[in-house]
Chain A
Amino acid sequence: MGLDEEFIIAYEKYSDAIFRYCFYRVYEREKAKDLVQEVYMKTWQYLSKGNEVENIRAFLYRVARNLIIDGSRKKKESSLDEMHESGFDAKFDDRRQKEIEIDMKMAIEVIKNLDEKYREVLLLRYVDGFSPKEISSMIDETENAVSVRIHRGMKQLRKLI
């Protein structure tokens, strides 16, 4: 299988997850989509130069994470109000979907109010399904630190719900 074919498969498999990851950091749909594209382009740049990647999924997350960190360094964090406005342009049609949307909005509100550190690990653990070990390699923390963070994150979450 050619490199480009593998790459496209990695897109089909993980683009949704990467989008989600980005969305819960920037809370703007368009921006998140742009980030997804950028993540994959950078990954391709890396691959096409002949570099090997063992775990493409983890690699994609790492690229996304770095991009977001770089981005937020350049911009000041927008006000909570702004985030509040722009977070909700998900595509849904019928009423059942509407209900889901409201549900989701509430959930999103909740996690927005979490600390960045906790939010990240909680999402990686419970939305994307990474193990603490995997998370530790992705965010450059020890496995232990990750577990602690998850635990503390859950505590804060319970308070918010």
Chain B
Amino acid sequence: MFERKKTFFKKLRRQGLAQGERQVILDSLVLYVKKNPAGNNQRVRRIFYGSKSFSASTNFFKILYKPVFVTAIIAIIIVTGGGVAYAAEGALPGDLLYPIKIHINENVRTVIVVSPEAKIEWEVSRTERRLQEAEQLATQGRLDADTSSKISINLKSQSKKISKKIKALEASGNIDVVARSSSNLETALQAHKKIIIKMSDESRAGVNTKDIVRDLEEEEEEASRVRNNAEIEIKTKIHSKFSQSAENRKKSAQKKLDETKNYIEKWEKRLGSEATVEARTQIQKAQEIIIRGEAELNAQKSGEAFNSFQEAHRMAQQARLLLEAKKNFNVNIIGKKNTSTIEIKKDKRLEDETKKSQERGKDKDDDVQEDSNEKNKQEEKDGIDTDSQNAIEIDSKIDVKIGL
């Protein structure tokens, strides 16, 4: 009897899970555990109550970044009809949805974009997004030292990415793309730098911009240098081979101009008369430069025409960015008449210099830099706020204004 009992129960003990079955259940448990990590509730609460620190959201993003979650989030996006993704677009550093904006929305775009041209354009746009976020944070008084340095880190990595791409483009001979993207970048950096400086000038509460402004200046210098080099090279281009590029650049310059015109008309009341008058003057000048470019094209000077169209594009872009600043943040920069003329003067001066150095046959880079350095020093003394190569002076100016 005893024996039978033993063997009887032994038989029952044989019932169990097969290895495969056990693994299946284990897999779902592992997912479940990851979805509900221990102590998770705390972190979520912190994020909801607007924590300024990034550590909460960086841990959150690490979890979000797992393949399981990308799938889950894509599913959510599909179900909500893109609602979550759309909402994430407006997210700022420190917001709950910000990781979605950066790691999903933006990465999706990075993957979708194929041609090297479009890729670098996208990276430039990304830089602009970071700057717009910084400005919105400044308006909300959320741009503290911590956030500022984090944005600065972001900007630096963007800048590295763009430099890499530019080098690749230079190597593969796509000089017109280099000229175009560095021009766009330079203009964007310049405009946003002004906006941000102005914001801290006006001592908005919780605005700490030292790191960011310093980065912007470095990057602007770099972009400017790249652009100038590219334009010098373009000048020497043979007309027959380059005329198409010049034509394309003209089209985009005209398009930008028209867009800006429409923008002015649409938002005239919001922008106020001072800004709109200024902007219209800029637009007018830009239009004249396009006409000049057309003349150059006809004279078979497509390299120079390209550069003229670039200039016109830059002016239109600048006007547009500064108008946006006025509309969104009520930051008035375009009112300074001096600034816009200085830009034109500086560019023209650089053009003259490059012509001279070409004739002299010296090393173009050094000359251009040297001469513009001197000119800028002169302007500094005249008390005009320009984009100086002389970083130290600018720094001290900013320090004084912020009162640091």
Q: Which residues of A approach B to under 8 Å, CB–CB?
A: 3-4, 7-8, 11, 15-16, 19-20, 23-24, 33, 36-37, 40-41, 44-45, 47-50, 90-91, 100, 103-104, 106-108, 110-111, 122-123, 126-127, 154, 157-158, 161
Contacts and interface: CB of A to CB of B under 8 A. Distances in A.
Contact of B25 (A37, A122, A126): A37
Given A20-B15, A122-B9, 6 more contacts: A11-B25, A15-B25, A36-B25, A90-B15, A108-B15, A127-B12
A103 B16 CA distance: 15
Interface string B32-48: 11001111110000000
B24 to A, nearest CB: 8
Nearest to A17: B16
B14 A23 contact: no
Contact of A40 (B1, B17, B18, B29): B29
A24 B4 CA distance: 20
B38 A3 contact: yes
Given A37-B25, A127-B9, A16 B16 contact: yes
What secondary structure prevails in chain A residues at the interface with B? Answer: helix
A107 B38 CA distance: 42
Contact of A126 (B5, B24, B40): B5
B172 interface: no
Nearest to B30: A8
Contact of A44 (B9, B17, B32, B39): B32
Contact of B32 (A15, A41, A122, A158): A41
27 contacts: A4-B33, A4-B38, A8-B26, A8-B29, A16-B16, A16-B22, A19-B16, A20-B13, A20-B15, A33-B17, A36-B17, A37-B25, A40-B29, A41-B32, A44-B29, A47-B38, A48-B33, A48-B38, A50-B39, A100-B14, A103-B11, A107-B12, A126-B5, A127-B9, A127-B13, A157-B5, A161-B4
Interface in B121-153: none
Contacts of A8: 26, 29-30, 33
A15 B24 CA distance: 12
B273 interface: no
A118 B115 CA distance: 74
Nearest to A16: B16
B49 interface: no
Contacts of B382: none
A107 B14 CA distance: 11
A153 B29 CA distance: 36
Interface string B181-209: 00000000000000000000000000000
Contacts of B36: 44-45, 48
Given A104-B12, A107-B12, A154-B5, A16 B39 contact: no
Contacts of A104: 11-12, 14-15
B35 to A, nearest CB: 10
A99 B1 CA distance: 22
Contact of B12 (A3, A16, A111): A111
A11 B29 contact: yes
Nearest to B13: A127
A24 B11 CA distance: 13
Nearest to B11: A107
The 9 closest A-B pairs by CB, nearest first: A126-B9, A107-B11, A48-B38, A16-B16, A91-B18, A19-B17, A3-B38, A37-B25, A4-B33
B383 to A, nearest CB: 62
Contacts of B5: 126, 154, 157
Contact of B16 (A20, A108, A161): A20
B240 interface: no
B2 to A, nearest CB: 10
B28 interface: yes
B363 interface: no
A41 B1 CA distance: 41
B21 interface: yes
Contacts of A45: 36
Given A4-B38, A15-B22, A108-B12, A158 B1 contact: yes
A123 B29 contact: no
A44 B25 contact: no
A85 B338 CA distance: 92
A6 B14 CA distance: 26
Contacts of B33: 4, 7-8, 44, 48
Contacts of A154: 5
A48 B9 contact: no
B240 to A, nearest CB: 68
B38 A24 contact: no
Contacts of A33: 17, 21, 24-25
Contact of B28 (A37, A49, A127): A37
A21 to B, nearest CB: 10
A45 B33 CA distance: 9
